Structure 1
Amino acid sequence: MIHTIFPFSAIVEQDRLKTALLLCAVDPSLGGVLIRGDKGTAKSTAARALTDILPPIQRVAGCAYNCLPGAPYQHCETCNHEHAAPQADSVPFVTLPLGATEDRVIGTLDLEQALKGGSRVFKPGLLASAHRGILYIDEVNLLPDHLVDVLLDAAAMGVNVVQREGLSVSHPARFTLIGTMNLEEGDLRPQLLDRFGLMVEVTAPHDKTLRAEVVRRRIAFEANPAAYAAQWLREQQALRDQLATAQQLLPGVMLDDALLDLISHLCCEFEVASLRADIVMHKASRALAALQGQTEVTPEHVRAAAELVLPHRRRRKPFEQPGLDQNQLDELMQQALQQPDETESGADSEQNENGESQQVFAAAAADDARKIDVADPVGRFASGKRSITQDAPRGRVVRAVPDPNPSSLAVDATLRSAALKGREPFQVTKDDLYRQVRVGKTANLILFVVDASGSMAAQRRMEAVKGAVLSLLTDAYQQRDQVAVISFRGESAQLLLPPTRSVDIAEQHLRELPTGGRTPLPSALSVAFETLAKTDLPPLLVLLSDGKANVALQDGNDPWQESLRFAELLAERGVPSLVLDTETGYLRLGRARQLAQALGAECLALEELSAENLALTVRQAT
């Protein structure tokens, strides 16, 4: 046999990554592992290498559902055959392509059978192939939302349920989910993030000796994969034996109540909302003990499990990366094991001390902000993640409708319609044609235009917009949104933050927002018009200003009339807008509200909003 998989035991360093993968092999019910890190850090290599050391499973050759011997799926013709005999086979390793259709993932009507006799036979998909094995997703953070929803349902129930095209089918779909991702490409939806039992952050080694060894091994493998794999046969077999022993030991591994209390204590102290964390830590601690050949869980096992289970589940501020403070973890371990009474009071003190610093970034409750519906009067941006579009050219297929000239043929529905009419010989006519109806979503560009002139409210505006942008960027990864900021003061406006979803770039540009000077409002609206003209994303313009323009674009012009003209141009272009009036004092001119009327926008007083519910209001507007 020619080996094409890099040996698991030959991976240099990355001990935590290898441990996480081995724990998932010992106990597949852990929920899999998410591997995060930069490009070229052996994420995919490690995931694929795991399959070569997993103990084989028993299955019937040709079974599309990977049925458990002795308990076959009721509709599996292969396993229910009287002569079917299971045999040892490698653990399934199924790769889920980012471009896979929902039909390919969950399964669909077998068109070949339908064409032959009109019968409705289910053709299993990737979830059936991954049963009792590994479902691997490279760049899982780029997975389309409709596939994420499918995975969440299957991972939660361990069953794939298909009810479509006249079919009503359910089959087992228990798999270990392994996903890799690069943070530069965005983060995961919280629901999917929590489904991963373990999370590992990987980085390239900084030691030149280790880096050289990585290169040396990779070059040797590529030159002759089979010969290189042969050099690691002993180490690979040792890992197989270790896993087989651990799987046998696992049912008898004990975790006492004191350590269960420790697990719950750590989850509470790190402000983990999901109870799945407690369950996975319990399982991971036992699996770790079994992997080390022990039958009792120790505090060291719990601590090691916490480093894999809690980083991606603990509550974080915007831009705070996943991870655990090792010193805090050590202190909590000692407090829980030695002085439980003091631990409780210490936690309250720490929360109180940290509470105020988190207020700037905390998300407001939904009831704290008014709900705003921003319409798209022209419809220019009706195509396309966040904005739901009915009958979109791309997206999730929700139904099929009769259409004699379909732009997207619903093959299953068309064939079913023809088959039910019972023509002899079988034929499809125009009257049988159905069109796919899709629901798509599109990202948004949220453009903040911020008055930074030297008014009394300048500092308040800056605090509000900075908090809002930072808060919005925390979910921009999941929504594929972009955020941009235009600041205007002095003689002109500038694009302070170009459209971005990058956390690092946003921090660099928003660290300091200068204030002071005059109010070049026409320049700001002109820059906004030019910025939005360069994007294909549906925009939302958020203007924070008192409207007191005093710097014209052209000498001799009235700054206020210029501002109104640009507002009208934006309205004619169909740009949804929101105006936040920053005017203060007893006497108010109401210029911001006049500007909102010209924009066709709603106007709110900034004093009604904090940074938290400003972010919430903008989310609702999108």
Structure 2
Amino acid sequence: MMNDAATQAACLLAVDPAGLGGLCLRGGHSPARDALLTGLRTVLPVGTPWRRVPLQVDDDRLLGGLDLGASLATGRPVQQPGLIAEAAGGLLLLPMAERADAGLAARLAAALDDREARVGLVALDEGLSPDETLPASLQERLGLIATVTLDAHGSTPEFPALATVDAARARLAAVACDEATVQALSATASALGIVSMRTVWQAWCAARASAALAGRSSVTQADAELAARLVLAPRARALPAPAEPPEAQAPPSPPPESQERPDAPSTDATTPSPSEVQALQEQTLAAAQAAIPPGLLESLAGMEPRQGAAGGRRGAPARPAQSGRPLASRRGSLGAGKRLDLLATLRAAVPWQHLRRRERDAQGLPSAPTRLLLRRDDFHIKRYRRPQETTTVFVVDASGSQALHRLAEAKGAVELLLADCYVRRDRVALIAFRGAGAELLLPPTRSLARARRSLASLPGGGGTPLAAGLEAASLLGGQVQARDGGRAVLVFLTDARANIARDGSPGRTQAAQDALAVARRVRAQGLHSLLIDTSPRPEPAALLLAQTLGARYVPLPHGQAAQVHAVVAQAI
């Protein structure tokens, strides 16, 4: 009946939307996702509200506010309900949820926390990279997370009959969940690095909804495993610790003394033994671990997580902008370069017209009934936000050891990354270090042709002044971030075999120490960086340098520049 995780999640949400909060559906727009949403609506009670929330929705439409047209027509304030009020007892649908800003996410999170609102949320996460994710405030409140997939036969998801789901909703309150299942879910969450008790509660609700949907009066192991797959696994933050070997485990405890004491209470047959509880926890954890996406496992096993990833490429505004993405207007005074939001100004003024006319008549001022009485406090100013400009600085090792084997492959990887930067309209810069120092071959520019010419003419040979290259990248990155609040991304392509010290003298030991000292300063600047190890085999020195930089470490396989491009492009 329910042949994939997304269909199972949708059915559980239909049974208990209040306990689960909502559903995060990952994956781009497809017929499979449309069929899933259609199936979800068919198993909801007849007449359940279903409202779509645009990303550009303003506060008046979302939360409710003054109906300007009706107020002007009737001469008195007329309130209109918002989308949240219209969806009371039903679901809100948020497309492209990964692009929701902090303000919209906060308002939706507050609505999900409000029990009187009685609203759930289906968030469509269409992000293509780890940077594009659902805001944390929403991700914590949406109990179910699933990815929409289409099987090889292209069949549409099969949902149970509406009568079956209605019976499950009626049965839900009587479904029992024993202590062993609760302990298993809590232990699984702890093993996966989940610290939020809200998540454990959502897993408990999902297990009870699964039992109710299956017609059972109590939660079973299958229900707990399903809850672990849909609630706990997508939120994993740590890899489970390996199980202890049998010889390292504690010996079994001696049998209770109740066999020698006739008056001792006998053990309830329904109470699970410690071994049964342990087995239940291990099975639940195994089910959750099997459902963790492979990409998440790789990120958990790698370097430390990046900071500020939830913001994606949207960035933060550096100064008040006069163009770009519209934001909610605010009260303010008209000045140079400021634009009046006429509708917001009228909405602020209409509720006070009757009182202002009374004040005007009391002061004996001339009457003008057809005019709208405005005051300075009514003025609302339009606001905009422009995305933060990103400059990708390629720092290429053009020394002799690099040019001997890998410079051509490094150029191929940079060539592919340059094309991506051009599509995103990012600026690019190119720094090369060889011989005794580093040189800025290409200042920040958007010209792809100019960048390619600089890359093609990049010579190779000489020593490896790694510290000089790091310092040049640090100076340029600092200038980019200081100018209009720009964002700099440093991409290093080197084998990290430094042999020229910062003062230009030869010597591997001093050169390595100077490079690590500069790398610590780069990390202190907060510059986002990646290090591509271009040596024939992964070098410990390159890994140490990446750790000192706080950078992501990516080895460059022979002849596989396209694979490195695919990995690095997600992080830029």
Q: Shared fold (TM-score greater than 0.5)?
A: yes
Note the C-alpha offset of 1:176. 2.0
Distance, in Å, in 1 between the alignment partners of 2:53 and 2:384 is 22
- For this pair of structures, how many residues does the alignment match? 427
Which of residues 408, 413, 429 is equivalent to 2:345? 413
Cα offsets for 1:110-166 (capped at 9, x unmatched): 2235425664443211111111001112332233443222112211234xxxxxxxx
Match of 1:498 among 414, 418, 421: 418
Cα distance in structure 1, aligned partners of 2:114 and 2:434: 60
User: What CA deviation, in whole Å up to 9, does each residue of 1:334-391 have, x standing for no partner?
Assistant: 9984647997xx99xx9xxx9999685114899xxxxxxxxxxxxxxxxx94235435
1:606 paired with 2:536, answer no
Q: How does 1:115-130 map to 2 (within 5 A)?
A: 115-116=72-73, 119-130=76-87
In the other structure, the counterpart of 1:28 is: 17
Question: 1:311 Cα deviation (Å)?
Answer: 2.8
Shift of the 271–262 alpha-carbon distance from structure 1 to 2, 3 Å rule, reads same
Match of residue 40 from structure 2: 50
Gaps of 5+ in 2: 244-272, 290-295, 309-313, 358-366, 422-431, 452-464, 506-515, 524-544, 553-571
Aligned position for 2:247: none
Greater mean deviation of Cα atoms: 571-580 or 607-616: 571-580
What amino acid is aligned across from residue 221 of structure 2 in structure 1? P
Question: Structure 1 pair 94/567, CA: closer, same or farther in 2 (3 Å)?
Answer: closer
Q: Deviations over 1:564-617 (max 9, x none)?
A: xx99998999796879999988963399xxxxxxxxxxx982145474684599
Q: Deviation string for 1:532-559 (max 9, x for gaps)?
A: 999xxxxxxxxx963379xxxxxxxxxx
SS in 1 for 2:417: strand
The equivalent residue for 1:19 is 8
Deviation at 1:253, TM superposition (A): 0.6
Return the offset for 1:28.
Answer: 1.2
Cα distance, 1:586–1:305 mapped onto 2, change above 3 Å: same
Deviates more, 1:442-451 or 1:248-257: 442-451
User: Does the Cα contact within 8 Å between 1:445 and 1:499 map onto a contact in 2?
Assistant: no
Residue 303 of structure 2 corresponds to which residue in structure 1? 361
1:67-82, aligned counterparts within 5 Å?
Answer: none
- 1:285 and 1:572 mapped to 2: Cα distance? 51
Query: How large is the Cα RMSD of the aligned pairs?
Result: 5.3
Aligned to 1:547: 468
Is the 2:175–2:218 contact (alpha carbons within 8 Å) kept by the matching residues of 1? yes
Instruction: Tell me the amino acid that sits aligned with residue 503 of structure 2.
Output: L
Work out the CA distance in 1 between the residues paired with 2:467 and 2:206: 56
1:505-524 deviation digits (Å, cap 9, x = unpaired):
xxxxxxxxxx9965894464
Give the superposition deviation at 1:240.
1.5
After superposition, the Cα gap between the structure-2 partners of 1:316 and 1:109, relative to the gap in structure 1 and judged at 3 Å, is farther
Q: Please give the residue correspondences for 1:434-513 in structure 2 after superposition, counting only pairs within 5 Å.
A: 434-438=379-383, 440=385, 442-454=387-399, 494-495=414-415, 497-498=417-418
In 2, the alpha carbon distance for the partners of 1:532 and 1:156 equals 52
Matched, 1:283 2:283: no
Q: CA deviation at 1:105?
A: 1.2
1:408, distance to aligned residue in structure 2 (A)? 3.6
Q: Are 2:194 and 1:205 aligned?
A: no
Counterpart Cα distance in 1 of 2:409 and 2:480: 21
CA gap 1:198/1:519 in 2 versus in 1, 3 angstroms: farther
- 2:502 corresponds to which of 588, 596, 616: 588
Structure 1 range deviating more: 34-43 or 123-132 = 34-43
Paired residue type of 1:17: A
1:267 and 2:197 aligned: no
Q: Alpha-carbon deviation of 1:424?
A: 4.0
State the secondary structure of the residue aligned to 2:42: coil
TM-score, normalisation: structure 1:
0.56
Letter in 2 for 1:387: P
TM-score, with length taken from structure 2: 0.60
1:137 aligned to 2:137? no
Distance 1:455 1:131, change over 3 A: farther
What is the rounded CA distance, in whole Å, between the counterparts of 1:279 and 1:395 in structure 2? 38
Change (3 A) 1:270 1:531: same
Are 1:404 and 1:434, in contact at CA under 8 Å, matched by a contact in 2?
Answer: no
Query: For residues 606 and 239 of structure 1, do their structure 2 counterparts lie closer, same or farther at Cα, with a shift above 3 Å needed?
Result: same
| Equivalent residue number for residue 525 of structure 1 | 442
- The whole-number CA distance in structure 2 between the counterparts of 1:279 and 1:46 is 25
8 Å contact 1:286–1:297 — kept in the other structure?
A: yes
Letter in 2 for 1:546: A
- For 1:189, the equivalent position in structure 2 comes to 135
Q: Which residue among 59, 81, 85 is the counterpart of 1:102?
A: 59
Structure 1 unmatched runs, 5+? 1-8, 57-89, 159-171, 218-234, 318-323, 329-333, 367-383, 463-486, 502-514, 535-543, 550-559, 592-602
Percent identical pairs in the alignment equals 22
- Note the 1:147-186 alignment, pairs <5 A: 147-158=104-115, 172-184=116-128, 186=132
What is the CA–CA distance in structure 2 between the aligned matches of 1:35 and 1:356, rounded to whole Å? 21
CA distance in 1, matches of 2:165, 2:386: 44
